[in-house]
Chains A and B, each alone.
Chain A
Amino acid sequence: MNTSILILLVMAALGITFGLILAFANKKFAIEVNPLIHIVEDVLPKGQCGACGYAGCMAYAEAVVTNPDVPPNMCVPGKAVVAARVAELTGKKAEEVEPRVARIMCSGGLEQAKRSYEYKGVQTCAAANVLFGGPKSCAYGCLGFGDCVATCPFGAMTLGENHLPQIDKEKCTGCGACQKVCPKQVIDLTPLTANVHVSCKSLAKGAEVRKICTVGCLSCTLCMRQCTHDAIKMVNNLPVVDHSKCVECTEAKCVEKCPTKAIHLIRQAAGEPPVVKAPAQAQPM
């Protein structure tokens, strides 16, 4: 009985001592923080998505208040409204930032792309990717299990019938959360006003692509050669569009001439994935 009382006394004494020491230290050594930081943080949408490049909303609020070089429009999900509010609070000038949206660089759905095996494991892209890079024969394409849809904090993505994600341009804020979670890195952030989009990410040669996908890029360089504004370049067997040079020309020869329609006008694909039938006879390379 004496030991029990002694245990209680010792534990209570130690606990109270430590608690009092910490309380005193917290009071004595408190750091004065600029209250404007908390006001700015309240203005931010608090998605904690990290699209501004800082660790969280609090870190960005602290940086934008204390550092005069940090612009007030780095909050991508907040768009112009939050940027204007933050600029007003910090006395900075909000400049226009071109809005970006996520786009899928793959159009090989269930019907277009071949599969190496039938996958019956955990139905997530990350799990499927561990098994030989996923069931798709194409090593670069979308796996279609919807990890990006699940992770989108703004509900801008849905999984289509062909197991490709569809992106709502109105809801998408360009925070890049889906881009981080995709094991194939098949999601790209492009300007909202972009005219042309390449729906393929395969770095393989054209002959290999033709065997496993009917809508993949064949690296035939027709789009690059057809472009009259020199906006398309081939990098690693894949066309890369320079959106600053790409204009909405009336002909859109790059799209017209593409044998597999891997490159297409964004306006046509608004809200829906492209449903493309392969031409009966692909043009010779």
Chain B
Amino acid sequence: MTEVAEYFTLFMGAVIVNNFVLTRFLGLCIFFGVSKNLNASIGMGMAVTSVMTLSSMLAWAIYNFVLAPYHLTFLTTVVFVVLIASFVQLLEIIIKKFVPTLYNLWGIYLVLIATNCIVLAVPLIISESAYSFSKSVVFAIGSGAGFALAIILMASLREKLQYADVPKSIDGLGIAFILAGLLALSFFGFSGMIPL
């Protein structure tokens, strides 16, 4: 029972309490770029969650079987960057071949994910916290779900904005930043429940 509670704490910490977009301010470029459209935001959320989970598993394996035994943990960032970029490229090739329908849904988002800081942050945090494999998977899924939650909420709000009387000087990105700030402020209410 304690183990389940521990995993639940880890998951909820990643999704809500320490949300990667609204609390840690990671992944802002696609958060603001894609959230103009709700359908695109849902697709991006699912793509990020999947890529984050799979690349975190791979990064965990590389870290624990290659870097740690040879005391090369200071190479973590460089190795993870190369690993994630290569893996996303491989994933794109495979999806394009075997699942064309999924490629039509996700294909344009995969190139955005390869260089995104939120996908790099999760493996780095996992290696820093020395999580076990199962904990890594739970944490990665939670992080992706948190990102998806944030971007879908933001997309819904921005679609409502089209019916609001926004001053021209802050139309577009200006009001989006204000809106994101208010959204982050509401998530701030969860802070402290689970430490970073």
Chain A positions near chain B (C-beta within 8 angstroms):
3, 6-7, 10-11, 14-15, 18-19, 21-22, 25-26, 29-31, 129-133
Asked if A133 contacts B97 (CB within 8 A), the reply is no
Query: Nearest Cβ distance between residue A120 and chain B, in whole angstroms?
Result: 17
How many whole Å from A217's CB to the nearest CB in chain B?
23
Q: Please, could you name 5 A-B residue pairs with CB atoms under 8 Å apart, sorted by A?
A: A3-B71, A7-B75, A10-B75, A130-B168, A133-B168
Q: Which of B62, B86, B168 contacts A22 (CB 8 A)?
A: B86
**B90 on interface, CB distance cutoff 8 Å:** yes
Partner of B83, one of A18, A130, A133: A18
**Given A14-B82, A25-B93, A132-B169, 7 new contacts (CB under 8 A):** A3-B72, A10-B66, A14-B83, A21-B90, A25-B94, A29-B96, A29-B98
- Taking a contact as CB atoms under 8 Å apart, the answer to whether A31 and B89 are in contact is no
* Set B82, B98, B169: member contacting A131, Cβ < 8 A: B169
Does B79 interact with chain A (Cβ within 8 Å)? yes
**How many Å from the CB of A24 to the closest CB on chain B?**
10
Whether A129 lies near B168 (C-beta < 8 A) is yes
- The distance from the CB of B117 to the nearest CB of chain A, in whole angstroms, is 20
- What chain A residues lie within 8 Å of B90 (beta carbons)? 21-22, 25
**Could you tell me how many residues of chain B have their Cβ less than 8 Å away from some Cβ of chain A?**
21
A26 to B86, CA, bound (A): 12
Residues of B with C-beta under 8 A to A11: 75, 78-79
Give every chain A residue within 8 A of B86 (Cβ-Cβ): 18-19, 21-22
Q: Which listed residue (A6, A30, A132) contacts B168, Cβ 8 A?
A: A132
Q: CB-defined interface of B60-89 with A at 8 Å, one 1/0 digit per residue?
A: 001000110011100100110011001001
- B66, B83, B90, B94 — most chain A CB neighbours (10 Å): B90
Identify which of B78, B82, B93 contacts A29 (C-beta below 8 A). Answer: B93
Q: In the A-B complex, list the 3 residue pairs whose CB atoms are closest, starting with the nearest.
A: A29-B97, A18-B86, A25-B93
Chain B residues closer than 8 Å to A29, beta-carbon distance: 93-94, 96-98
Interface contact A6-B70, CB-CB below 8 Å? yes
How near does chain A come to B80, taking the closest CB pair, in angstroms?
11
Contacts of B93 in A (CB 8 A): 22, 25-26, 29
From residue A122, how far is it (CB to closest CB) to chain B in Å? Answer: 14
Minimum CB–CB distance from A62 to chain B (whole Å) comes to 12
Nearest CB on B from A79, distance (A)? 30
What residues of B have a CB within 8 angstroms of the CB of A10 in the complex? 66-67, 70, 72, 75, 79
Q: How far is the CA of A217 from the CA of B144 in the complex (A)?
A: 55
Q: Which residues of the other chain, B, contact A30 by a CB distance below 8 angstroms?
A: 97
Give complex CA distance A7, B94 in Å.
31
- Min distance, Cβ B72 to any Cβ of chain A, angstroms: 6
Which residues of the other chain, B, contact A7 by a CB distance below 8 angstroms?
A: 72, 75
Q: A18 vs B62: C-alpha distance in the bound complex, in angstroms?
A: 12
What residues of chain B lie closer than 8 Å to A3, measured between beta carbons? 71-72
Determine how close the nearest CB of chain A comes to the CB of B171; give it in whole angstroms. Answer: 9
